[in-house]
């Protein structure tokens, strides 16, 4: 159309015909251009076109309300684009080609106002950042802030995100207020119902959601009355106990009772329980409240009499009648129900009080406060202010509103025709003000835009009955968008036929409610068509299954498995055809675009259905992505894996955590590989060293570089990309970046680990809304699985709806329902049975109505074709019912106009359906044998994977047998002590020497370990690898704190408390908190113990921070040598002639590494200090010089102190240069047996190797040159 063509008034689009004043309802069926219409109406308002306001409006004057931030942003963008397009047309820059702009162009051209119209539109487009386009919550917040006086809103209130925390606080307050103050038996009863405040909170969630604000407060006296009745019954049973016992004996002897129900053992057992309960002291009942109910029902007089065999004389004693009287008064479940309602009322009031105390408000409060202000006696003044501020309001997705929101807008914009009804409760207001208000209302406009057929968000609080009320309020002012621009003609006619088929039989109630009519829509010219195997496909296709017998109706599980497999097979056929050029989209100009997986969407109702569908697609080798707004990155498997990695890196000394980290699937280590690693001491040492370096990276640079280095080491990214798992890789990086940011406000790595663990726990409970899974560009290329709720407003070329036959079932009470007058009511557990039947029927009807609306949304998402699973799913025949039933089924209603169908009726309806002339395709489908692999089709992608080039080989020959070894590696496999190898495997990561000292940290017999002894002294402290590691870490912490400073702070009252907190933290970390009272004085004494050096005695506590180095690391190169040579030289030098385990016979070449517990300097001499936690005996007498020497040799600590002395010697030679002298500077090795601090020699072993031995070993390790260069 050109601007010169005149449009007849009767064919003008609704966006041009709609009067822009009063309250009007626009119903926009799926795909009919709702957003386009809103943008066109907005453009008219900017121009002042046919407006009764007499002036153009600006973006600040037009209120547009929608329900999500994303929708608000989309509307803003679409309206801005429309305004720019209109401005260009009116200014003659681009001639209009669309009917609305053409009509406006003609009209303003004829009036000579086209240039001015272009200016208005241009100005509005440039000012769209100021546009009043809000979510409902954002608008309410603005009203309360900008009109605080008129609305009565409190100043200083802060908007909080999540009300759950406050709810938890209030429930705990209720628990404390009403549970703790109860009598003993009442409290026991309450705790039997709800064991924790969390259990009570869970029980209250649904009642809190459903209960009205004017809920009557039930009395708690019922529990007291029930307990009083129970106490009276105890006395009665106690007095009549002999009669009951006599009855039991007689009944058993005469066979009066049914033996299947009342076995002899059970009778006597329950008799003893009953009498014991009745005769126990009043305040200490022997049977708890949860068991007493069952016990009393067992001894019910009426029940016993009913189960008495005919012709038998035995009759229950009259005393048991008191039990029936008690049970008839009030059941436990009824009392529990009353308590829940009492808690609901109290908690609600408490939350209002707490919000006021905290000056806090939440999202629901925003809406409620605005509605309260507008409906208050002086609410008309606020309404006038808002009308002046926003003369026109457009409410998008109005079908998703609720009564509170509608009441607010109606109070502002209700026109004079129904203002009389609205103002009946406001007769005390000044009549002149009302008249003025009505005049304003007629000039203003409230445009309600939505589609009741798409009202599917009742779980969010949307109320279809509010829409129905609005429909009645706007009678005679309804408008309909009747052309579908989304789908092709055949598909539109199929949907029209489906929902119109039984209109005569249904009396027009296709969607259950008569006020939700189905009006067939027209189709617009298609822009493209879909071709599959040389045939244009534009079908609404139903997959049907013929049942040969009544038993062949599907259960829900069978139905899902069958339809998921059928859907996967069909998708494979489509994608394979596309690869062969037989499935494509053809545009109007003949261009062909191959079908892609991204063109296909599968709509489901729940995560469970999505999971079934994804499993079927995975078996078919079809990649998919599940789109859900609730996906939290903390709920992913990657979050759990990252937590395991962080635990291991934070505590590299903990082998259990380290093994767990290496076993995570994302590091791609096979079981065999892990087993080899644990058996290979050298490789394990390298792994330990790597994780220590990771911890250093974490502390220095942050968690993100640490994770990247870990993933790089194990080639995680390449593995994941090779498996096409970009999502997993992105989650790792997303989590790492989030943790890096979060760490800035936390203290230490363990706080960060706790934060991640809490986030994972919250995500599992569905409470995390902070970090959603990032959408990837690659996701856009995948097949989409999406919930029907989330698909609303979206469209896809091809749509599958495999699980359309799933039926609704009644919820357990309580639940909400609506009576014949559309008034909302709540069915509680103990409402009368007659009311329950009525409520359940109404509830199922409402649920079916929503299912029908959900089905309508699903089948209208497709542009070209939609496949629907229509298999019979329902209840199989039982003894009571011989027919299969499809209950509360969408297809049952659409096909036959009934909520439930038998299988025979279902098949008859399908037969009738297929016989009618409609464009719907019924495709008979065979049952698949899912156990047979051939029943599933597999997609073979045509993507070409680049072959990897041959691995390049290093040209330089590597040294044979070259290794990185350590003291542990050298003594590994010594031959004289059979348990030595095992002990080495249990060593500490941070200090390889700990391996040996924990070898036999048990009693001298080696048969038992000290683990159960109570905290008494250091000799009763547990033995073993973990306790030894803890003692070393404790001394390492003391060294990093400062030995001298620690002793000084311990004596300073101002600093002692803080010091003790840090000490306790160390004990808690290793779970030895109960030992702190033993370990603290032990450590203080140990640090102050004189080391008994001949030259000048000193203690560790006298050393300043500049005089020692904790955990000094060294790395020395080694020339090739034989370990047996090393062994011989040390044995000849250190305690010659004394037997000890031999070192393994092997050649070593490479690097020697190690960590020395402490290197210190005193009086110009340097010492190697090593802590030994070995358990030598039960008391101080075990730590004699002979015993310590024996331990030194048995564990080959002689090799250790020789190697450590050589390392210190070479370091000093380099650092001191020509001034270095071995005799003057080397003090020797001091080995401190930690458990022997109170022994006669304080558990101190000192040894200084001869200089000649040192020269010989240097010569062996590094050759002649090294010896001459480094000895002085």
**Tens digit of each residue's pLDDT (9 = 90 or more) over 34-75:** 999 999 999 999 999 887 777 899 999 999 999 888 889 999
Tens digit of pLDDT for each residue in 138-178? 999 999 988 888 888 877 788 887 788 899 999 999 988 88
Active site residue 129: no
Max alpha carbon distance in the chain (Å)? 122
Helix or strand or coil: residue 198?
helix
Say yes or no: 698 and 794 in one domain. no
Whether 745 and 648 share a structural domain: yes
Q: Residue 422's pLDDT is what?
A: 42
CB contact at 8 A, 139 and 65: yes
Q: List, as one string, the DSSP characters of 1210-1262.
A: HHHHHHHGGG--HHHHEEEEEEEEGGGTTSTTTTEEEE---HHHHHHHHHHHH
Q: What is the pLDDT of residues 424-469, one digit of tens each?
A: 434 444 444 444 444 456 678 999 999 999 999 888 888 899 999 9
Q: How confident is the model at residue 768 (pLDDT cuts 50, 70, 90)?
A: low
Give CA–CA dist 1201/252, Å, rounded: 84
CB neighbour list of residue 356: distance below 8 Å, 6 or more residues apart: none
Q: How confident is the model at residue 10 (pLDDT cuts 50, 70, 90)?
A: low
Backbone angles phi, psi at 523, to 5 degrees: -115, 150
Task: List the catalytic residue out of 697, 851, 1170, 1198.
Answer: 1170
Euclidean distance between CA atoms 1183 and 1194, whole angstroms: 15
Give per-residue pLDDT as tens, 100-111: 899 898 898 888
Give residue-wise pLDDT tens across range 876-933: 666 555 455 667 778 888 877 777 777 777 777 777 776 666 788 888 888 888 888 8
Mean pLDDT of the 373-377 span: 90
If one counts the domains in the chain, the total is: 5
Structure tokens, 456: 């599917």
Does residue 498 share a domain with residue 455? Answer: no
1145: tokens are 């016979």
In a domain, 1066, yes or no: no
Within a domain: 673:
yes
Q: Please indicate, yes or no, if residue 838 is contained in any of the structural domains.
A: yes
Question: Confidence band (pLDDT; 50, 70, 90) for 1101?
Answer: very high
Residues 6+ apart with CB under 8 A from 113: none
* Predicted confidence (pLDDT) at residue 220 exceeds the cutoff of 60: no
- Residue 796: pLDDT over 90: yes
Which CATH number does the domain housing residue 753 bear?
Answer: 1.10.486.10
Q: Which residues contact 1079 (CB under 8 A, 6 or more apart)?
A: 1018, 1021, 1034, 1067, 1072
What counts of helices (H) and strands (E) characterise the chain? 51, 31
367 domain-assigned? no
Rounded distance, CA 383 to CA 415, Å? 13
Residue where one domain finishes, among candidates 772, 793, 826 = 772
Find the range with the poorest average confidence among 200-204, 290-294, 745-749, 1102-1106: 290-294
Of 308-322, 472-486, 543-557, where does mean pLDDT reach its minimum? Answer: 543-557
Q: Which residue has the higher pLDDT, 305 or 758?
A: 758
- Rounded to whole angstroms, the Cα distance separating 136 from 141 reads 9
Domain boundary among 361, 385, 400: 361
Which one has a higher pLDDT value, 987 or 653? 653
Q: Is the pLDDT of residue 1259 over 80?
A: yes
Place of tokens 């036929």: 497
| Separation in Å, CA 766 to CA 83, 163, 594, 637 | 42, 14, 40, 15
**Residue 1086 buriedness (CB in 10 A; 0-12 / 13-18 / 19+):** buried
Contacts of 1182 (CB under 8 A, 6+ apart): 1176, 1236, 1239
pTM: 0.66
Tell whether 810 and 882 lie within a shared domain. Answer: yes
User: Reduced to 3 states, what is the DSSP secondary structure of residue 602?
Assistant: strand
The answer on pLDDT for 135 being more than 90 is yes
Q: CA 414 to CA 440: how far, in whole Å?
A: 10
* E strand map for 545-651: 583-587, 592-594, 600-604, 624-627
Contacts of 317 (CB under 8 A, 6+ apart): 240, 243, 244, 246, 247
Within this chain, do residues 529 and 424 fall inside the same structural domain, yes or no?
no
- CA atoms in the 13 A half-sphere facing the CB of 695: 19
Residue 630 — pLDDT band, cuts 50, 70, 90? low
**CA pair distance 171, 176, nearest whole angstrom:** 9
> DSSP letters of 131-189?
--EEEHHHHHHHHHHHTHHHHTPPTT-EE-S-SHHHHHHHHHHHHHHHTTTS-HHHHHH
**Cα gap 510→352, rounded to integer Å:** 43
Q: What pLDDT does 215 receive?
A: 58
More confident residue, 252 or 471: 471
Q: Please give the C-alpha separations between residue 705 and each of 695, 708, 736, 743, in angstroms, as whole numbers.
A: 11, 5, 9, 13
Per-residue pLDDT averaged across 199-215, rounded?
Answer: 81
Coil, strand or helix at 1198: helix
- Look at residue 772 in the predicted model and tell me its pLDDT: 59
Q: Using 50, 70 and 90 to split pLDDT, how confident is the model at 1037?
A: very high
Same domain, 1177 and 1239: yes
Residue 740 domain-assigned (yes or no): yes
Residues 470 and 383 in one domain: yes
Predicted pLDDT of residue 1011: 44
The residues near 216 (Cβ < 8 Å, ≥ 6 apart) are: 341
Determine the average pLDDT of the residues in 750-766. Answer: 84
Q: Is residue 957 in a domain?
A: no
- Of 404, 423, 556, 414, nearest to 465 by C-alpha is 404
Is 2 within a domain? Answer: no
Classify the C-alpha dihedral 149-154-155-159 as positive or negative: negative
Task: Determine the Cα–Cα distance for residues 249 and 680; give it in Å rounded to an integer.
Answer: 74
* Co-location of 640 and 711 in the same domain: yes
Q: Do 427 and 413 lie in a common domain? A: yes
Q: Residue 897's pLDDT is what?
A: 75
Which two three-digit tokens encode residue 459? 């779980």
Where residue 33 falls (left for φ over 0; alpha for ψ -120 to 50; beta otherwise) is left
Q: Which two tokens stand for residue 239?
A: 């007095």
Taking the CA atoms of residue 1208, residue 1214, residue 1215 and residue 1217 in that order, the dihedral angle to the nearest 10 degrees is 120
Helices 1123-1133 and 1197-1216, packing angle to 10 deg: 90
In a domain? residue 1117: yes
Q: Write down the pLDDT at residue 1266.
A: 44
Dihedral sign (CA 518, 523, 529, 535): positive
Q: What distance in Å separates the CA atoms of residue 299 and residue 382, rounded to the nearest whole number?
A: 67
Average pLDDT, the chain: 82
pLDDT of residue 1002: 41
- Provide the 3-class DSSP secondary structure of residue 1150: strand
14-18, 334-338, 844-848: least confidently modelled range = 334-338
Domain identity same for 1107 and 1251: yes
The pLDDT value given to residue 598: 92
Q: What is the CATH number of the domain that holds 1156?
A: 3.90.320.10
Record the tokens describing residue 563, joined without a space.
Answer: 């339809």
Same domain, yes or no, for 761 and 797? no
Specify the 3-state DSSP secondary structure of 440.
Answer: helix
- Residues of the chain with pLDDT > 90, as a percent, come to 37
What's 249's domain CATH number? Answer: 1.10.3170.10
1142 secondary structure, DSSP code: P
Place of tokens 């049942």: 547
- Residue 731: domain span: 633-772
Smallest CA-to-CA distance from 1219 within 1145, 1164, 1143, 1140 is with 1164
**Contact present, 20 and 48 (Cβ < 8 Å):** no
CATH number where 390 lies:
3.40.50.300
Query: Would you give the end-to-end CA distance of the chain in angstroms?
Result: 103
If asked whether residues 48 and 93 sit together in one domain, one would say yes
From residue 1066, give the alpha-carbon distance in Å to each of 680, 1037, 1062, 1084.
32, 8, 6, 15
**Tokens standing for residue 962:** 């070259």
pLDDT (0 to 100) of residue 1147: 84
Measured in residues, the chain has a length of 1272
Tell me the β-bridge partners of 784.
601, 625
Closest CA to 794 of 919, 627, 920, 921: 627
For 205-219, 815-829, 1066-1080, 1147-1161, which range has the lowest pLDDT when averaged over its residues? 205-219
Q: Of the ranges 17-31, 290-304, 648-662, 724-738, which one carries the lowest mean pLDDT score?
A: 290-304
Could you count the other beta carbons within 10 Å of the beta carbon of residue 502?
Answer: 20
From CA 1157, how far away is CA 1171, in angstroms rounded? 7
Write the burial class of residue 1088 (CB in 10 Å: 0-12 exposed, 13-18 middle, 19+ buried).
middle
What pLDDT shows up at residue 394? 96
Q: Which of 772, 799, 816 is the last residue of a domain?
A: 772
**Looking at residues 738-759, what average pLDDT do you find?**
88
| DSSP assignment letter at 978 | T
Residue 689 has pLDDT above 60, yes or no: yes
Say which range, 23-27, 90-94, 418-422, 1021-1025, has the weakest mean pLDDT: 418-422
């Amino acid at each position: 159309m050109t601007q010169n063509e005149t449009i007849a008034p009767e064919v003008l689009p609704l966006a041009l015909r709609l009067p822009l004043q009063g309250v009007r309802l626009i119903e926009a069926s799926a795909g009919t251009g709702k957003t386009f219409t809103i943008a066109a109406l907005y453009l008219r308002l900017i121009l002042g076109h046919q407006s009764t306001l007499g002036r153009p409006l600006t973006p600040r004057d037009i209120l547009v309300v929608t329900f999500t931030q994303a929708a608000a942003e989309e509307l803003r963008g679409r309206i801005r684009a429309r305004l720019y397009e209109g401005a260009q047309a009116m200014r003659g820059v681009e001639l209009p080609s669309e009917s609305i702009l053409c009509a406006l162009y003609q009209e303003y051209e004829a009036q000579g106002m086209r240039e001015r119209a272009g200016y208005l539109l241009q100005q509005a487009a440039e000012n769209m950042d100021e546009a009043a386009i809000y979510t409902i919550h954002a608008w309410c917040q603005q009203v309360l802030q900008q009109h605080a006086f008129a609305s009565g809103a409190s100043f200083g209130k802060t908007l909080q995100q999540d009300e759950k925390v406050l709810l938890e606080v209030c429930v705990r307050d209720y628990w404390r207020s009403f549970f703790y103050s109860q009598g003993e038996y009442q409290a026991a009863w309450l705790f039997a119902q709800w064991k924790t405040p969390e259990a009570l909170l869970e029980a209250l969630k649904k009642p809190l959601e459903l209960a009205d604000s004017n809920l009557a407060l039930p009395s708690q006296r019922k529990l007291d009355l029930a307990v009083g009745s129970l106490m009276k019954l105890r006395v009665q049973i106690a007095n009549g106990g002999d009669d009951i016992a006599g009855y039991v004996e007689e009944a058993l002897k005469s066979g009066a009772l049914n033996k299947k129900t009342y076995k002899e053992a059970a009778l006597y057992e329950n008799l003893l329980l009953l009498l014991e309960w009745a005769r126990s002291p009043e305040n200490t009942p022997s049977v708890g409240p949860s068991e007493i109910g069952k016990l009393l029902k067992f001894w019910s007089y009426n029940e016993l009499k009913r189960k008495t065999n005919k012709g038998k004389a035995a009759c229950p004693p009259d005393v048991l009648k008191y039990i029936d009287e008690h049970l008839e008064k009030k059941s436990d479940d009824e009392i529990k129900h009353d308590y829940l309602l009492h808690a609901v009322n109290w908690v609600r009031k408490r939350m209002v009080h707490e919000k006021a105390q905290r000056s806090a408000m939440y999202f629901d409060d925003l809406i409620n406060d605005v509605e309260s202000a507008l409906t208050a006696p002086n609410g008309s003044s606020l309404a006038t202010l808002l009308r002046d501020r926003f003369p026109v309001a457009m409410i998008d997705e109005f079908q998703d509103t609720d009564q509170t929101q509608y009441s607010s807008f109606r109070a502002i914009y209700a026109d004079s025709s129904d203002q009389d009804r609205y103002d009946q409760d406001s007769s005390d207001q000044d009549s002149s003000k009302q008249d003025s208000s009505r005049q304003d209302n007629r000039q203003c406009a409230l445009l309600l835009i939505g589609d009741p057929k798409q009202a599917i968000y009742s779980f969010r609080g949307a109320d279809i009955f509010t829409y129905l009320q609005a429909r009645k309020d706007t009678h005679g002012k309804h408008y309909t968008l009747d052309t579908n621009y989304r789908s092709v003609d055949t598909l539109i006619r199929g949907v029209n036929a489906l929902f119109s088929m039984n209109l005569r039989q249904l009396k027009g109630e296709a969607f259950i409610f008569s006020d939700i009519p189905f009006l067939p829509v027209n189709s617009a010219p298609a822009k493209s068509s879909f071709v599959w195997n040389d045939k244009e496909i534009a079908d609404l296709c139903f997959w049907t299954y013929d049942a040969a017998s009544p038993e062949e109706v599907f259960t829900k599980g069978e139905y899902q498995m069958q339809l998921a497999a059928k859907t996967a097979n069909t998708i494979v056929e489509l994608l394979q055809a596309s690869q062969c050029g037989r499935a494509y989209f053809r545009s109007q100009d003949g261009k062909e675009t191959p079908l892609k997986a991204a063109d296909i969407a599968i709509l489901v109702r729940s995560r469970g259905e999505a999971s079934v569908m994804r499993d079927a697609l995975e078996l078919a080798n079809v990649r998919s992505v599940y789109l859900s707004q609730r996906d939290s990155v903390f709920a992913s498997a990657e979050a759990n894996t990252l937590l395991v990695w962080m635990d291991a890196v934070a505590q590299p000394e903990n082998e259990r955590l380290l093994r767990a980290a290496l076993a995570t699937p994302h590091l791609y280590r096979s079981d065999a590989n892990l087993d080899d690693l644990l058996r290979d001491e050298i490789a394990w040492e390298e792994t330990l060293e790597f994780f220590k370096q990771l911890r250093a990276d974490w502390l220095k640079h942050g968690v993100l570089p640490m994770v990247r280095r870990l993933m790089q080491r194990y080639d995680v990214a390449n593995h994941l990309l090779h498996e096409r798992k970009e999502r997993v890789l992105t989650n790792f990086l997303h989590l790492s970046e989030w943790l890096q940011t979060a760490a800035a406000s936390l203290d230490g790595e363990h706080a960060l680990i706790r934060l991640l663990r809490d986030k994972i726990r919250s995500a599992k409970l569905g409470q995390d809304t902070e970090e959603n899974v990032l959408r990837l560009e690659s996701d856009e290329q995948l097949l989409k699985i999406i919930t029907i709720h989330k698909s609303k407003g979206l469209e896809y070329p091809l749509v599958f709806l495999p699980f359309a036959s799933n039926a609704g079932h009644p919820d357990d009470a309580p639940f909400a329902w609506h009576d014949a007058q559309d008034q909302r009511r709540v069915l509680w557990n103990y409402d009368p049975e007659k009311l329950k039947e009525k409520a359940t029927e109404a509830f199922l009807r409402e649920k079916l109505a929503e299912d029908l609306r959900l089905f309508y949304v699903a089948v209208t998402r497709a542009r070209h074709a939609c496949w629907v699973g229509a298999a019979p799913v329902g209840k199989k025949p039982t003894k009571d019912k011989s027919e299969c039933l499809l209950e509360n089924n969408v297809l049952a209603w659409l096909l036959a106009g009934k909520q439930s169908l038998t299988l025979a009726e279902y098949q008859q309806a399908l037969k009738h359906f297929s016989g009618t002339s409609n464009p719907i395709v019924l495709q008979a489908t065979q049952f698949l044998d899912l156990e047979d692999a051939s029943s599933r089709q597999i997609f073979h992608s045509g993507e070409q994977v680049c072959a990897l080039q041959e691995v390049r080989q290093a040209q330089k020959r590597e040294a044979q047998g070259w290794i990185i070894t350590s003291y542990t590696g050298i003594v590994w496999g010594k031959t004289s002590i059979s348990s030595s190898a095992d002990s080495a495997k249990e060593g500490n990561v941070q200090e390889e020497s700990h391996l040996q000292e924990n070898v036999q940290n048990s009693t001298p017999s080696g048969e038992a370990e000290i683990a159960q002894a109570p905290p008494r002294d250091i000799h009763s402290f547990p033995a073993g690898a973990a306790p030894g590691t803890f003692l070393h870490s404790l001394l390492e912490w003391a060294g990093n704190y400062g030995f001298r400073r620690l002793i000084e702070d311990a004596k300073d009252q101002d600093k002692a408390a803080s010091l003790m907190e840090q000490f306790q933290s160390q004990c808690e970390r290793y779970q030895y908190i109960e030992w702190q009272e033993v370990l603290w004085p032990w450590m203080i004494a140990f640090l102050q113990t004189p080391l008994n050096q001949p030259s000048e005695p000193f203690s560790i506590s006298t050393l300043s921070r500049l005089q020692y180095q904790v955990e000094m690391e060294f790395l020395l190169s080694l020339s090739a040598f034989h370990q047996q040579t090393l062994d011989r030289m040390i044995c000849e030098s250190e305690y010659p002639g004394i037997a000890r385990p031999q070192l393994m016979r092997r050649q070593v070449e490479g690097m020697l590494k190690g960590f020395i517990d402490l290197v210190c300097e005193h009086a110009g001499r340097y010492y190697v200090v090593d802590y030994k936690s070995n358990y030598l005996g039960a008391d101080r007498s075990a730590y004699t010089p002979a015993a310590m020497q024996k331990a030194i040799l048995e564990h080959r600590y002689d090799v250790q102190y020789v190697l450590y002395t050589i390392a210190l010697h070479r370091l000093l030679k380099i650092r001191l240069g020509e001034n270095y002298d071995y005799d003057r500077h080397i003090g020797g090795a001091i080995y401190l047996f930690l458990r022997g601090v109170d022994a006669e020699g304080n558990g101190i072993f000192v040894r200084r190797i001869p200089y000649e031995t040192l020269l010989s070993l240097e010569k062996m390790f590094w050759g002649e040159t090294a010896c001459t260069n480094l000895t002085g």
